[in-house]
A and B are shown apart, each in its own frame.
Chain A
Amino acid sequence: MKVLTFNPQRCDGTRACEVTCAETWFKVTDVAKSSIRIQPKEAGFGAQFCIQCGQCIDVCPTNALFQDKQGIVRVRKQLCVGCLSCVGFCPYGVMYFDTAQTLVFKCIACGQCVKACPTQALEIIETDNVSTDLWERKSR
């Protein structure tokens, strides 16, 4: 499947990805509405975003979460009851909640952040290995 991956060695902390994500999906610049989160680390920066593992799907009581044909975990907005089950049970803390719409949101590997990144730290790649290795892709 095609998923997002992050190369910490290339990130300069501009955080254009967060702003772009929030703008793309919520039409705001508030990075709290971003599905990718950049944090400073001891050396450089780290990123967190959904790795499409799908563990949230069984936790959802309403079938609002599903894996699409491309393997991406998506939200059926009309079914989401805003119960936070997936938010609390996401092992990676990358399912978020929008109070205004009372809906969850997450990275669906749309690739807008990849285009926005000035240092090419983000990339959409084809892989079946869904793990947090995707947050620490090494330079080729």
Chain B
Amino acid sequence: MSKSTLKMLAAFGYEVPTIDRGYAGQTLYVNVGSGTITAKPVTEDMKTKFIGGRGFDLWLLWHGVKDGTKWNDPENEVVISSGPCGGTTQYPGSGKSIAAAISPLTDVVIDSNAGGHFGPYLKFAGWDAIEVQGKAERDVVVYINGPGGQVQLWEVPEDCPTDTHVLGHWLLEQFADDEQDKQQLAFVTAGTGSEHTLMGCLNFSLYDRKRQDLRYKQAGRGGIGTVFRHKKIKALVVKGFPVKGNLNHPADLERIVRVGADMQREVATWDPVQNRMRSRGTSYLVQIMDDYDLLPVMNYKFGSHPETPKINGDIWEARYTQGLPDGCWYGCTVACAHAVDNWKVRTGPYKGSCVIVDGPEYETIAGVGSNCGIFEPWAILEMNFYCDTYGIDTISFGTGMAFAMECYEAGILDPEKTCGLELNFGNAEAALEVLHQMGRGEGFGLIFGLGIRKMKTYFIEHFGADPQFVNDIGMEAKGLEYSEYLTKESLAQQGGYGLTNKGPQHDEAWLIFMDQVNNELPTFEDKAEALHYFPMWRTWFGLCGFCKLPWNDVVDPKNKLSSEPQKIMHHVENYRQIFIGVTGQEITYDDIITQSERVYNLQRVFNIRLGHGLRDHDAIPYRSAGPVIEEEYHSREERYDQQLREWLNLDPAAMTVAEKMAAHRQYREDRYEGLIDAVYKRRGWTNNGVPTPEKLQALGIDYPEVVEVVKRHL
């Protein structure tokens, strides 16, 4: 490959600021339509109220769009920020990038995080966030050259590839002058699937020095890749400075080193005898979820399957290349970002190529695997690779495919409607062909690529599907496909998915074990407290640039002796220390929650501003709460019958299955409404889910334009 001729559309020179206590002090605005490139100052108010990362994303997006902005309006933005602690090398999982946009799937704000080098490199190149607006006429690349002090907008030639694994190498060729440069470059890309579907993801690159090749981590959720390609952006490219351990210029590096060294030793000591993330990554969860009847199988009908051992962690441990430091940012020894090297692609346009498959991780294995009744590792690898390079979210694809397969088996779809594909559960070849259709933009892939919510409407309008049936089994909320956990027996996790801002994604709350397995949340109030604390705590990772996994996927057993072991306070203390060490700002545990509440409530108000975000929009499909079809009831009949006796004082022996299911439904739906009441109250929202002006004032985010939005709904 040789250098292509790129046409410069705009350029902006800047002096790279000294990073001060985790902040560059400015954000970058690029309009790919008009060619406008400017710097915006980061105010003290922004730092105090919104911290960085997702907080900065939301604040910039809030000011960038209008009340009626849709995902495909030019004023919609893709915003990416890491956060003040992002780029710290001394603590595992401190290099996250958080992306946000108005989502084509949900029509509200989506935030999604990824590893890779882009966020930290962007900051070290002088920018706390990048905000991309407008729509280019032809494909463009935004190039942020830190060492050169230039931001450039380039039009790329027609031979510039789109699919990520090819585009990445093309970008290296264009922008790297030598081997050292390769290490300093990081890209954000999407793929051809992002052009033809609403579930496009963003790929965040990292140059793997051991493999001497590019790897990618995905900000998968909510279709940000679709927005990206709609704007005709091929890539965001940043050239950073050589990474060192103090590029954040933290206030107190000694403090960071102290907790960092302790944590590295904790990982070294306990990971080998706990989850073995360093050898299995998140794939260890597959068997555990199956054992607890929580693994989604066949569109969440079932929670386990006899063939799960074919795709569990042991299988992936044997497939992942072992012995490499697979962190997605420097210093992450939890190292869950494993890969299968030299995978010979079996299908599609890249058949015969040898590629690196980044993953598969738990969500992908469960999503495109068990949830679709597919228990063949080769098929999971193939779908993982193609989803990534096409720029398609594996979770939305997997959950969407599970829905389509159930619709096929229920007779809603047939080969005539699927362009000849027999989409039975377990048909990996058919699922892969849908994926390739999404890449090509043709056939059933186009309908499928709309996501479950729009598929449901399409099936009702065009195929005569029973609305209640597809609404019950279509596992989406707010328009976003569920991530991969079965929630029927955990009311708290039904709320953990339903009462989110962005839609059902487990990064906000994962309470199944506390609730269902350990029974630590017996009352509505207990669940509401957990649905306040944990979403706020987990939000905070995304404000600072942290990954959640080192918080609770490897833990010194002494934690069990603490007063609140589920909070893992000795790790919370580590994070508090790092935040103080980087920013110099003393904070308490309560401050952490308050910092998150500001951002969380702003996001809620943002959703309301965009015409959603109220109680109606927190509804969940019934399958996430209980059995929709008799086959499901029978699969857990003993448990369900016992619940009828214990919860409702009914005699199941005197009832038909239909009557028993109806009784369950009434009870479970009422219970979810009761949970909503309790959670809204705890969060300081009205019974319609609106943050009150008093709450906004207490948080210090009672800006006139914010209060104006909620006033319309009081």
Contact = CB atoms under 8 A, between A and B. Distances in A.
B260 A102 contact: no
Interface stretch (A17-25, A77-85, A123-131): A77-85
Contacts of A82: 89-90, 244-246
B313 interface: no
A61 B330 contact: yes
17 contacts: A59-B325, A62-B243, A63-B209, A81-B89, A81-B330, A81-B331, A84-B89, A84-B331, A85-B331, A85-B333, A88-B260, A88-B266, A88-B268, A89-B264, A89-B267, A89-B333, A99-B254
A87 interface: yes
A17 B264 CA distance: 28
Interface string A91-115: 0000001010011000000000000
Contacts of A60: 325
B257 A99 contact: yes
B209 A84 contact: no
B177 to A, nearest CB: 17
A81 B90 CA distance: 9
A62 B264 CA distance: 17
A85 B243 contact: no
A58 interface: yes
A51 B51 CA distance: 44
B327 interface: yes
B245 A89 contact: no
Contacts of B266: 88
A2 to B, nearest CB: 27
B572 interface: no
Q: Which of B90, B209, B243, B266 has the most CB of A within 10 A?
A: B90
B325 A84 contact: no
Nearest to B269: A88
Contacts of B330: 61-62, 81, 83
A61 B211 CA distance: 10
A87 B245 contact: no
Contacts of A85: 264, 325, 331, 333
B90 A83 contact: yes
Contacts of B267: 88-89
A81 B325 contact: no
A80 B209 CA distance: 12
Q: Report, as a range, how many residues of chain A touch the other chain.
A: 20 to 34
Interface in B458-492: none
B265 interface: yes
Given A59-B333, A61-B325, A81-B331, 13 more contacts: A58-B323, A58-B325, A61-B331, A63-B209, A82-B244, A84-B260, A85-B325, A85-B331, A87-B261, A88-B261, A88-B268, A89-B333, A103-B245
Contacts of A88: 260-261, 263-268, 333
Interface string B514-551: 00000000000000000000000000000000000000
Nearest to A59: B325
Interface string B261-287: 101111110000000000000000000
Contacts of A63: 209-210
Contacts of B706: none
Nearest to B255: A99
Interface string B223-256: 0000000000000000000111110000001100
Q: Which 4 A-B pairs have the closest CB atoms?
A: A82-B245, A88-B264, A83-B331, A102-B245
Contacts of A84: 89-90, 257, 260-261, 264, 331
A60 B264 CA distance: 12
Instruction: Summarize A's interface: helix, strand, loop or mixed.
Output: loop
Interface in A50-83: 58-63, 78, 80-83
Contacts of B263: 88
A93 to B, nearest CB: 8
B264 A61 contact: no
A103 to B, nearest CB: 8
A81 B95 CA distance: 13
Contacts of B89: 81-84
Contact of B257 (A58, A62, A78, A97): A97
Interface of A: 58-63, 78, 80-85, 87-89, 97, 99, 102-103
Interface residues of B, number: 27
Interface in B324-340: 324-325, 327, 330-331, 333
Nearest to B324: A58
Contacts of A58: 323-325
Contacts of A59: 325, 333
A81 B323 contact: no
A127 to B, nearest CB: 26
A81 B333 contact: no
A7 to B, nearest CB: 29
B244 A102 contact: yes
A103 B89 CA distance: 11
Given A61-B327, A63-B210, A89-B333, A81 B260 contact: no
A92 to B, nearest CB: 12
Contacts of A103: 245
B573 to A, nearest CB: 18
A82 B87 CA distance: 11
Q: Which of A58, A63, A82, A99 has the most CB of B within 10 A?
A: A82
B243 A81 contact: yes
Contacts of A62: 209, 243, 330
Contacts of A87: 261, 264
A78 B323 CA distance: 23
Contacts of B244: 81-82, 102
B531 to A, nearest CB: 34
A87 to B, nearest CB: 5
Interface string B197-237: 00000000000011000000000000000000000000000
Contacts of B333: 59, 85, 88-89
Contact of A61 (B210, B245, B257, B323): B210
A80 B267 CA distance: 20
A82 to B, nearest CB: 2
Nearest to A90: B268
Contacts of B323: 58
Nearest to B90: A84
A82 B325 CA distance: 15
Nearest to B265: A88
A105 to B, nearest CB: 13
A76 B242 CA distance: 14
Contacts of B253: 99, 102
A61 B242 CA distance: 14
Interface string B310-327: 000000000000011101
A97 B261 CA distance: 9
A102 B90 CA distance: 10
B408 to A, nearest CB: 45
A122 to B, nearest CB: 26
B272 to A, nearest CB: 11
A107 B186 CA distance: 35
A61 B90 CA distance: 13
Contacts of A97: 257, 261
Nearest to B183: A62
A85 B266 CA distance: 11
Contacts of A78: 242
